[in-house]
């Protein structure tokens, strides 16, 4: 803005006629004029020249006052016009669309960004009902929302906090998503509502694309995990059935041979038998780590009990698990049972590796068509930064597996100071197609 614009905008406030000294001088002159008029009225007949001069002075004062009044009015109008032009310029330069409506919800202000967003010239927009810019299915509800907002007395608020708002280009009926805020003001006894909105078509497309990519990645991850579990089950079955039977047969043959060997080689045969026993135990342990056959044969409840007992015997950490309503747990789909079992397994592994705990407690139950699992220990507890570590793949994989099935997983500090893990997942796997 140049110096001339600033002078126009401040001409009234900086006028010489509004200076305190000028006002005092004018008041003194007016007082003197009134006093002179009073003297002239009393002695007018005796001094005609005094009466004539007073009349001329009055005419001059009235003329000057009229000139000053006219000038002040013109300057005020110029200031108002300049302020309005400045306001219009600011509104038109805004990047967001600005639409103002009156109490009848007819448009009274429509800036340049609104013209671009709605592809509508402001000449056509002025006086148009606001509902012309809203899809038909939202018009009745929107009209009521604006009226309700007017009754609240709140000056401004964000619109559509929990849902996507939609607007429409009236010329072609094309709809587009927006984010908007609404405010209200009263002027001249009338209420006006102003909506500031932004076209978020590109952002919504990017968000939808991101969600789609995340959904596809989650599905791909689930398929990979499913294939991995199937391969683990196949290998575990082969180890248990094929290799286990071969080792058992080899042990029987060694026992038969050792009975016919001379005494000087019996010690070696005994050592070989002990080595075979270790091989059989190792094969069973590897098979169980890959996938316990009892999870398929006996169900989640027995598999969880066995896992807790095996963990206690291996780690020396006391682990007690309480299973409620084991029959209801049998209704869980295969994928849900596997996910919960892996969550228990990962929890126990983390306790053994990182917690430094002496005891652990767990509950497993079925209620409200969901499987509920909770694990707690008395160790050092998990820190928030540990959850954010890039190498925390076990926890991330557990969370993704549960989320894919429509469940939730929470990890937090436990009252005893350790870590508490809670898993809640639908019995049939609400977020994905499950296998019975």
Query: Do 132 and 99 touch, CB atoms closer than 8 A?
Result: no
CB-side exposure of 147: number of CA atoms within 13 Å?
A: 7
Confidence at 110, pLDDT banded by 50, 70, 90:
very high
Confidence at 5, pLDDT banded by 50, 70, 90:
very low
Confidence at 80, pLDDT banded by 50, 70, 90:
low
Residue 1: per-residue pLDDT: 35
In the chain, the percentage of residues whose pLDDT exceeds 70 is 75
For residues 38 and 433, the model is more confident at 38
Query: What mean pLDDT do residues 196-205 have?
Result: 90
Written as six digits, the tokens of 259 are 């009975």
Residue 115: per-residue pLDDT: 92
Query: What mean pLDDT do residues 154-171 have?
Result: 79
Comparing 43-47, 60-64, 296-300, the range with the smallest average pLDDT is 43-47
- For residue 198, give the nearest of 172, 169, 167 by alpha carbon: 167
Residue 167: per-residue pLDDT: 92
Query: What mean pLDDT do residues 397-413 have?
Result: 85
Region 94-199: CATH code: 3.30.450.20
Beta bridge partners of 98: 196
SS3 label, residue 172: coil
Mean pLDDT of the chain: 79
The answer to whether residue 326 scores a pLDDT higher than 90 is no
Q: Which residues contact 244 (CB under 8 A, 6 or more apart)?
A: 280, 283, 284, 287
SS3 label, residue 92: helix
Q: How far apart are the first and last CA of the chain?
A: 75
- For residue 334, give the nearest of 396, 427, 424 by alpha carbon: 427
Residue 282: per-residue pLDDT: 82
Residue 396: per-residue pLDDT: 77
The answer to whether residue 130 scores a pLDDT higher than 80 is yes
List the Cα angle 335/341/345 in 5-degree steps: 140
Q: Are strands 107-110 and 318-324 parallel, antiparallel or unpaired?
A: unpaired
The answer to whether residue 94 scores a pLDDT higher than 60 is yes
Confidence at 430, pLDDT banded by 50, 70, 90:
low
Residue 249: per-residue pLDDT: 84
Each residue's pLDDT tens digit, 330-368: 888 888 888 898 888 888 888 888 888 888 999 999 988
Residue 23: per-residue pLDDT: 63
Residue 151: per-residue pLDDT: 77
Residue 175: per-residue pLDDT: 92
Cα 205 versus chain centre, distance:
17
Residue 335 to residues 144, 271, 436, Cα–Cα distance (Å): 48, 43, 8
The answer to whether residue 318 scores a pLDDT higher than 80 is yes
Domain ranges of the chain: 3-92, 94-199, 203-291, 294-436
The answer to whether residue 205 scores a pLDDT higher than 70 is yes
Q: Does domain 294-436 have CATH number 3.30.565.10?
A: yes
Confidence at 434, pLDDT banded by 50, 70, 90:
very low
Written as six digits, the tokens of 38 are 């009073």
Burial of 423 (0-12, 13-18, 19+ CB in 10 A): buried
The answer to whether residue 8 scores a pLDDT higher than 60 is no
Q: Which residues contact 165 (CB under 8 A, 6 or more apart)?
A: 159, 177, 178, 179, 180, 197
Each residue's pLDDT tens digit, 224-233: 777 877 787 7
């Amino acid at each position: 803005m140049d110096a001339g614009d600033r002078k126009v905008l401040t001409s009234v406030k900086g006028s010489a006629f509004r200076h305190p000294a000028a006002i005092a001088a004018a008041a003194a002159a007016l007082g003197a004029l009134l006093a002179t008029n009073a003297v002239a009225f009393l002695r007018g007949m005796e001094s005609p020249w005094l009466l004539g001069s007073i009349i001329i002075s009055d005419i001059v004062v009235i003329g000057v006052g009229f000139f000053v009044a006219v000038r002040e009015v013109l300057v005020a109008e110029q200031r108002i016009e300049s302020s309005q032009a400045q306001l219009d310029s600011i509104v038109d330069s805004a990047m967001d669309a600005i639409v103002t409506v009156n109490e009848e919800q007819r448009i009274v202000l429509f800036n340049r960004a609104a013209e671009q967003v709605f592809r509508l010239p402001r000449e056509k927009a002025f006086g148009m009902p606001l509902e012309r810019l809203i899809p038909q299915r939202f018009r009745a509800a929107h009209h009521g929302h604006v009226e309700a907002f007017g009754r609240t007395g709140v000056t401004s608020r964000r619109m559509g906090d929990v849902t996507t708002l939609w607007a429409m280009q009236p010329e072609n009926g094309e709809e587009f998503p927006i984010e908007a805020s609404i405010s209200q003001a009263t002027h001249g006894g009338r209420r006006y509502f102003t909506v500031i909105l932004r076209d978020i078509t590109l952002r919504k497309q990017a968000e939808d694309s991101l969600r789609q990519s995340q959904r596809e990645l989650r599905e791909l991850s689930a398929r990979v995990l499913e294939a991995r579990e199937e391969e683990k089950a196949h290998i575990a079955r082969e180890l248990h059935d094929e290799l286990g039977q071969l080792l058992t047969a080899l042990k029987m043959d060694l026992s038969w041979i050792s009975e016919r060997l001379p005494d000087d080689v019996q010690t070696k045969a005994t050592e070989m038998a002990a080595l075979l026993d270790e091989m059989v135990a190792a094969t069973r342990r590897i098979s169980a780590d890959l996938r316990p056959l009892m999870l398929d044969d006996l169900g989640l409840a027995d598999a969880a009990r066995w896992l807790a007992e095996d963990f206690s015997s291996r780690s020396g950490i006391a682990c007690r698990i309480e299973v409620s309503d084991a029959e209801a747990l049998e209704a869980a789909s295969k994928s849900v049972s596997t996910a919960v079992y892996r969550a228990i397994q990962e929890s126990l592994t983390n306790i053994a590796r990182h917690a430094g705990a002496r005891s652990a407690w767990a509950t497993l139950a079925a209620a409200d068509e969901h499987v509920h699992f909770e694990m707690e220990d008395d160790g050092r507890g998990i820190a928030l930064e540990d959850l954010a570590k890039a190498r925390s793949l076990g926890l991330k994989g557990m969370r993704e597996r549960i989320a894919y099935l429509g469940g939730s997983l929470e990890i937090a500090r436990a009252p005893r100071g350790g870590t508490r893990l809670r898993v809640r997942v639908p019995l049939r796997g609400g977020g994905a197609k499950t296998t019975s």
